[in-house]
Chains A and B, each alone.
Chain A
């Protein structure tokens, strides 16, 4: 494969990871600043880490939360960027094989991309 292919993939992966870490750390800091009880309250932990705890689990929910400046939603946005990074890598691969006019691998990478997109839908059905 050509050099620019490697450069593009490496750049995409690095950027995705770096951006997500910045968002996650910022979200934790904002949460702690907004909720001083996180420094002292023991029951708060049980609520935050209980299987019944509520946190945004839809894209629109996360976006709405980020607009309100919710630390929790900013953390989730960072986690979503992290999850989306390999998905972006597969999408980039589709582009790369399209440029190379490699039909077999256009089909393979497109199928993987569709499977990844379906995974988000399967989770909603599974509940």
Chain B
């Protein structure tokens, strides 16, 4: 394969990953890293460096739309970014010292979990909760306009400290594997902090860029961001995500989900296999 063909092929795969990812609310990283390592035999650490850059691209692109629609809760985002950025640095630092085989195994497990989370779907807690001092002092209460309900919905986030701790963990996984880890952030806000699902998704997307920038800083300084891999990945994923976000709703989301779950399961198995066999 010549360099030019490589760039074109990687851009094409990234386009597909960005498109599928945005349809399902996942980042492209879950597909990009396996594609680069399994199909193109790129070193996993360079694949992760390229992926983290694409995560920033999609997050910044999507965040602009969510901020405009007032769906993202800025205060919640700023507060939780304390956890995600520290976690991201931890993760990126760990990625430099642990064995690549462990990265494959961990990647397989996270993809498997994401597939499982999609099968299980979402539960919503409907019980009364006490607003603790942290949530009160941080003034996290807000509202958004829900199109489906046609009304302004007020909400009061709770359990701010648990949310912050979970975000540290999500940030570590993000930095370690070069993914947005929205699959971990959204449940943390949805289940632990009891934010409305639309707000959780939008706020997660808003935070992902900052989280990824923290680990990208480490990867860049360490020379793990290869321009010839990162360039087609960033442009491809961004174009795919843009197309996907303008298609959302036009395709039956149920069938897309089923296909995606099957794809994720296969990828998870392959990554695990590569990690175990070497």
Contacts and interface: CB of A to CB of B under 8 A. Distances in A.
Query: Do A and B originate from a single complex?
Result: yes
Interface of A: 1, 6, 9-10, 13-14, 16-17, 20-21, 24-25, 27-28, 31-32, 35, 38-42, 44-45, 48-51, 53-55, 57-58, 72, 75-76, 78-80, 82-87, 89-90, 93, 104-105, 108-109, 111-112, 115-116, 118-124, 126-127
Category for how many chain B residues contact A: 35 or more
Nearest to B219: A123
B31 interface: no
B162 interface: no
A48 B217 contact: no
A35 B74 CA distance: 46
Contacts of B221: 57-58, 120-124, 126-127
Contacts of B220: 57, 79-80, 83, 120, 123
B93 A126 contact: yes
A49 B42 contact: yes
A40 B79 CA distance: 51
A83 B67 contact: no
Given A83-B220, A119-B88, A127-B222, A72 B227 contact: yes
Given A54-B223, A112-B82, A122-B92, 17 more contacts: A13-B67, A20-B234, A21-B238, A32-B4, A38-B2, A38-B3, A45-B2, A49-B42, A49-B46, A75-B228, A79-B234, A90-B210, A105-B75, A115-B89, A122-B221, A124-B222, A126-B97
Interface in B200-250: 209-210, 212-223, 225-232, 234-235, 238
Q: Which of A14, A38, A119 is most buried by chain B, counting CB atoms within 10 A of its CB?
A: A119
B6 interface: yes
Given A17-B238, A86-B60, A119 B231 contact: no
7 contacts: A17-B60, A41-B3, A49-B229, A83-B53, A85-B60, A85-B209, A119-B217
Contacts of B64: 9-10, 13-14, 17
A53 B50 CA distance: 14
A49 B6 contact: yes
B2 A41 contact: yes
Interface string B83-112: 001101100110011000000000000000
Query: Majority SS of interface residues in chain B?
Result: helix
The 5 A-B pairs with the shortest beta carbon distances in the complex, nearest first, are A123-B221, A119-B217, A123-B218, A86-B209, A75-B227
Interface string B24-53: 000000000000000010110110000001
A79 B3 contact: no
A6 B2 contact: no
B137 interface: yes
A112 B234 contact: no
Contacts of A28: 7, 231-232
Contacts of B85: 112, 115-116, 119
B3 to A, nearest CB: 4
Contact of B222 (A21, A39, A126): A126
A35 B4 CA distance: 10
A17 to B, nearest CB: 5
A80 B219 CA distance: 11
B167 to A, nearest CB: 12
B130 to A, nearest CB: 21
A24 B231 contact: yes
B53 A55 contact: no
